[in-house]
Structure formats: structure tokens, C-alpha cells
Structure 1
Amino acid sequence: MTMPRSSIVSLDETPWYHCVSRCVRRAFLCGKDKVTGKDFSHRRGWIAERIKKLSEVFCIHVAGYAVMSNHYHVILYVDRDMALSLDDREVIERWTRLFQGTDVMRKFMDGEELTDGERDVLLRSVEEIRGRLYSLSWYMRTLNEYVARLANKEDGARGRFWEGRYKSQALLDEKALLAALAYVDLNPVRAGIAKYPEESEFTSVYERIEAMNGKKAYDERLMPFKGNVSNVSKEYGPSERGHSKVAKGVSCCHVTEIPYEFHEYLELVDWTARHIRKEGLGHVDVGAPTILKRLGIEPKGFLELSRSFLKEFGHAVGDSMRLRKRSAFVGVRFVKGMRAARRALG
């Protein structure tokens, strides 16, 4: 059943969301089209850069992303408090980085005196724009329209490039956020494009590992983990691949943090990737990452989610108690994912 977006996105319930957009008409974001032989790999950069660029304008922070051949994933933190704290000038300055302002806005920004009528129009416009700055729909619309225009121009095509609606999942607790982050970052490993997380280009985990190893500066448009990536004190990677150097002094200006230490998240994605490559669950309790034990996540259930997270859950992800509250909140008797929640998240 299709649900109104207002029932899916409730910032009073959670600020965290996992969003997915897919192409139509056999369109490719990146990779090689097997039918035509045309290579679209350069498009991966379009979407990755646009995701982070929009975080400079919107009060929406990027926690994770992955760009695949015909779809992309992004995990976002909607910072309503940040938007409400902006003054009128800051709201207009942000918006006009992407869109043309009105004459009244230009007069205000230039310090010209406004009439009472112009001031009323300005205040209404600013409040409308302020709401857009923490709107998930406006963020995704601005992202998808930009990429669609570039792709259609390159293809010499007209018409729809994306499916009509992006899919969004409300992440109701830390367990759901952790499962979503790992699922998104491990997309290339799961698809067989990369063997290890540090080879999974155009994902947030790849960017963070590159910065941690000193190969590139940390992009501060990505949300930091708790304690930041510079706090990783142990070498990354299993013994089968040797060791990596850890970069020092990487900093980030964002106030909002992903609520896990980066080193424990790396341990988790590496452990999960090894199980994905082996195509079996085995004795998963042996050597299970400490973060799973700390959060009360069942290891075998977590590995199952790493393969089928998007299919298992509907518009919301969380433990069984939060999903029950979710069903009451939206006024339905059943919320997809209850069985998976009990199996993995408690």
C-alpha cells in the first residue's frame, strides 16, 4: 500500500532516513551498458558530489551513501533544529546557492529599505524556504533533478530518468541506523563489484578509509563518527590483507555525530564483508564484533539483514517494540519487517 510521505517522514519520531532512487528505461548511473557498450562510469562522480554539495545548502547531513549501476543509496540526518536557528539572511544565502532569489530577497540582501508589504512577502518566503531546508523531499528532488538533467542531455533523451518516487525508510533507533549504514556501504561487496570495503569506490566507507589511511583529506561534508575517524587507534583490516597506516589529525566541523566509534564500525563492515564473500553464515558468534553485543543485535540476524535489508523492511526500521509504536503512529495494524526485527534487532 502506498503511504503519504507525511506518514513516512516524522522528525518527531526520528531524524534518520535511508533513501533509495532507481533509474528507469534501462538508464545507467554508472558502469557499462552491456547492450550498447557505452561506459557511464563518470556519472558516479556526479551523484556522489551532488549528495555532499547539497549538505552545504540543506540542513540535512550525509551519514552514508553508495552509488551503484542503476540506483543509489543515501543515509541522511535531518537537522530541523539547525534550520530553525538560522536567521533570515542565512536562509536566503543558502537557498540562493541553488535557486534564483526574488527581487525582494535581493533588496534585503543588499541592505536596501523594504516597504511594509515587501517585508511581509519576504518573511513569508523565508519561512517557506526554511521549511524546505529541512525537507527530505526537497533534498531528494534537488538531487534527482540535477542528475536527470545531466544524464538526459548526455543521452540526447527526454522524459523520466528516475522512478516516480524515491523509497525512504525511517531509521527508528541506533540498531536500525547501524544495519542501514553497513547495508549501504557494502553494496559493492554484495554485488561482487568489490572484494573488500576499502575497494568499494563511490561509497562513504571507501572515502573514510581513504582519509584514515592518509590518501586524501577527510571530506567534512560527511558526518563524523563519534570521536571522529582520527580517533581510530587500531590498524584496519584482517590479517589476510596486512595492515594499514592511520592518518592523524583528521577533523570535522559538524556538531551532529554518528553514534558509534569509527574503529568499531570498520570492524563490523569488515566482518560482514568476509561473511558475504563466503556465501554462508557459518559460526557467526565466533569473533562477532563487539558493537553487535553492546547494542544487543543478534549476529546471524544482522548478517541476514546485510543481504536483504531493503526487502525485509518497509517504510520504517527498528526493533520490534519501536515497530509496534510505529504501527500505532501511522494507524495501521501491520508494519513490514516485524519478523526480521525480532530475528535480528530484538
Structure 2
Amino acid sequence: MAVSRSKKICLEDTPYYHCVSRCVRRAFLCGKDSATGTSYEHRRAWVEKRLLFLAGVFSIDVCAYAVMSNHLHVVLHVDEDSVKNWSTLEVLDRWHRLHRGTFFTQQYVRGEALPEHTLKLVENLADTYRARLISISWFMKELNEPIARKANSEDNCTGHFWEGRFKSQALLDEAALISCMAYVDLNPIRSDICQTPEDSDYTSVKQRVACAQKCYQPKALYPFVGNPRQDIPSGLPFNLVDYLELLDMTGRIVKYGKDGVINVELLPILKRLNISSENWLSIAIKFEERTGSVVGQEQSVSHYCQCHHKRRKASPKSSQLFA
């Protein structure tokens, strides 16, 4: 039986989630259909543009993404603290970038005088919109529905475009986060679409590399802020250079199918997180196959199960990483 989304996504456990949406039809989301010869490559730009637009509207940051031929990967961070500080006007401004809102919310944004009972109604609506703007379910809905309508229109057909609900995984700790991000960023290499991470079109790593060459980080993506320390700013708790080196080395092994061993002396991230090179390679290549709905190191998963009164299940799809 399907588990409700509200039980899968709990910000008290973690603000980080890996979401996957898959195309339900044989027709491609993107790429080229070998059966008909029709190219849907231009649809990658639709998805990337919409995804990064939503990151500027929602209080949800994009950590990593990859637009594949028939599915989409995205790693998200929910910024629950920022949305609490948004004024009613800012909430409505953001929501109106997605929808028209109501006659009264439009009046409020224009600065028109409203009676007290109407102001109360507007504030209640703003509270509803505020909750939606930190909802991963609403984020994925606002991402997937416009793409589905546009693709159906282009294909001159109707019906479902996406395979039901999106799949989500809770990333409980830093080890789960970085392994999932690497898995997403390396998806095009693993699928033999490109040779190197920086050549992988419509991925977060390509954007990060392009910006890193100009000595800045992309504004649309959640930034790397270095290893954990006191008064660390909001961002990914890793060093960007370390992460790119890790991806490059892992990508080479994946691309050429070698049973290599990564030299952990060159990869401070793996050393800090106490991840062996053998375990890293296994998880970075087959993250979805080897993990369940919650992912983390042994102590993280145990704490999660204890808090939610769940029993640990012994199965091939273990949620435990790098024990």
C-alpha cells in the first residue's frame, strides 16, 4: 500500500530530499526516440528552466538535478526558516508568479485599501500559500504539470505524461546527501550520454563547473559553503573543489567500467564522512537500487526508526549507508 506523502516528507527529520519523476509513456521526456527518430532534446531546456524558476519562487533550494531521457532527478533542500520571515506581501508576490491568486490578494499587492475583514481573509490565504511554498509536493506539482501540458500539446495527445506520484527519499545525514548528489550528477555518464561531468548538459554539475571557472557559484543552486564549522552560512556543508574532484574521479571509473579504488587521500570529503572508497563507488553508481525511502548512516537510520516507531527491515534495499 502506498505511503502518504506527508509521512514520507518530515522536515523534523531532514530538510534534504531526493525526488524522481518518470515518464509514463513510451514517448520520451527528452532525448531521441530510436523507434521513430523524433528528437525531444529541446524539452530538456523546458525542464531546467522551470526547475530553476521554481527555486526562485519557493523556499526550496535545488542542490542537484539531472534531466534524463525519460525521467528527472532532483535533490532539494527545504528552507523552513526563511519562509517564516516573509511578509504577507512577499508571500503573495511569490505566489502570484505561479497563479493569479484571488481578487482580494491582487488588490492587496497593488496597495489598495481593504476593509478589516478582507485583510483577515488575505492574511489567511497568505498563510496557506506560505505553507505551499515550503511543500515539496507543491514544488513537484508546479514543475511537472506545466511540462506535461506542454508535451501533450506538442505530441497532440491527452492523458497522463508522468508515472503517477513522484518518488521521494529522505536524506538523513551528510553521507546520504553527498552520495545522492553524486549519483544524480553522474547519471548522464552512467547512462553513456556524455564523457565527463562538465559535458553533461542540463545537469547541476555543468552549471557549477561553468560558474566555478569564473570564480563564483550559480545563484539558482544551493551553494557549497565548506566543511561544517561554527557560524556556518546556509548552504551545502562541503567544499566545492573537493566535490568536483570527487565527481571527476568517480566519473572516470564509472565511464570506463574499471574496478578501480579511489585514492581517499585525494578526497577529503570521504575521509571526513568516514566513507570507504569501495562503499562510495557502489553507492554512487547504484544509489536508487541500494536504498529505500530513508537514507543515511547506521546511527541516522536507527534514530529515524526510533522516533517514528518503525522496525528496521532486513532487505536488499537497505536504507543504511556506509556502516
Shorter-chain TM-score bucket reads: over 0.9
Cα 1:335/1:47, change in 2 over 3 Å? farther
Which residue in 2 is equivalent to 1:319?
297
1:112 positional shift: 2.2
1:308 positional shift: 1.1
Matches of 1:341 and 1:97, distance apart in 2 = 38
CA deviations 1:249-293 (Å, max 9, x no partner) are xxxxxx631111110001110111121123243344565622101
Task: Please show how residues 10-21 of structure 1 align to structure 2 within 5 Å.
Answer: 10-21=10-21
The answer as to 2:214 corresponding to 1:203 is no
Matches of 1:138 and 1:152, distance apart in 2 = 21
1:331 positional shift: 3.2
The residue type equivalent to 1:157 in the other structure is C
Matches of 1:57 and 1:20, distance apart in 2 = 20
Question: Aligned to 1:189, what secondary structure does the other structure show?
Answer: helix
Choose from 284, 296, 301 the match for 2:279.
301
Matches of 1:280 and 1:2, distance apart in 2 = 38
Cα 1:46/1:116, change in 2 over 3 Å? same
Which residue in 1 is equivalent to 2:223?
224
1:341 positional shift: 5.9
Matches of 1:337 and 1:124, distance apart in 2 = 46
Question: Aligned to 1:195, what secondary structure does the other structure show?
Answer: coil
**Residues 32, 40 of structure 1: 8 Å contact kept:** yes
Which residue in 1 is equivalent to 2:160?
160
Task: Please show how residues 258-269 of structure 1 align to structure 2 within 5 Å.
Answer: 258-269=236-247
**Deviates most, 99-108 or 136-145:** 99-108
1:217 positional shift: 7.9
Choose from 259, 277, 291 the match for 2:255.
277
**Deviates most, 269-278 or 86-95:** 269-278
The answer as to 2:186 corresponding to 1:186 is yes
Matches of 1:338 and 1:118, distance apart in 2 = 56
**Residues 323, 338 of structure 1: 8 Å contact kept:** no
**Residues 190, 307 of structure 1: 8 Å contact kept:** yes
1:123 positional shift: 1.6
**How high is the TM-score relative to the length of structure 2?**
0.93
**Residues 323, 335 of structure 1: 8 Å contact kept:** no
Q: Indicate the percent of aligned positions where both proteins have the same amino acid.
A: 42
Structure 2: runs of 5 or more not aligned: 228-232
> Would you identify which runs of 4 or more consecutive aligned residues in structure 1 move more than 4 Å?
285-288, 335-342
CA deviations 1:304-327 (Å, max 9, x no partner) are 011210121111110011112222
Matches of 2:70 and 2:102, distance apart in 1 = 37
Question: Aligned to 1:111, what secondary structure does the other structure show?
Answer: coil
1:6 positional shift: 1.3
CA deviations 1:133-189 (Å, max 9, x no partner) are 100000000000011011011000101000111011111111111001100000011
The answer as to 2:143 corresponding to 1:143 is yes
Task: Please show how residues 69-148 of structure 1 align to structure 2 within 5 Å.
Answer: 69-148=69-148
CA deviations 1:91-113 (Å, max 9, x no partner) are 00000011012111122122222
Question: Aligned to 1:226, what secondary structure does the other structure show?
Answer: coil
Matches of 2:251 and 2:265, distance apart in 1 = 14
**Residues 64, 181 of structure 1: 8 Å contact kept:** yes
Cα 1:279/1:332, change in 2 over 3 Å? same
Cα 1:134/1:336, change in 2 over 3 Å? farther
Matches of 1:338 and 1:320, distance apart in 2 = 15
Matches of 1:310 and 1:131, distance apart in 2 = 29
Structure 1: runs of 5 or more not aligned: 229-254
CA deviations 1:207-228 (Å, max 9, x no partner) are 11122224x9853111111159
Cα 1:223/1:118, change in 2 over 3 Å? same
Question: Aligned to 1:269, what secondary structure does the other structure show?
Answer: helix
Matches of 2:93 and 2:264, distance apart in 1 = 53
The residue type equivalent to 1:331 in the other structure is H
**Residues 58, 134 of structure 2: 8 Å contact kept:** yes
**Residues 292, 319 of structure 2: 8 Å contact kept:** no
The answer as to 2:58 corresponding to 1:58 is yes
**Residues 60, 77 of structure 2: 8 Å contact kept:** yes
**Residues 59, 134 of structure 1: 8 Å contact kept:** yes
**Residues 285, 300 of structure 1: 8 Å contact kept:** no
The answer as to 2:322 corresponding to 1:345 is yes
CA RMSD after TM alignment: 2.1
Which residue in 2 is equivalent to 1:3?
3
**How high is the TM-score relative to the length of structure 1?**
0.87
Matches of 2:91 and 2:258, distance apart in 1 = 51
Which residue in 1 is equivalent to 2:230?
none
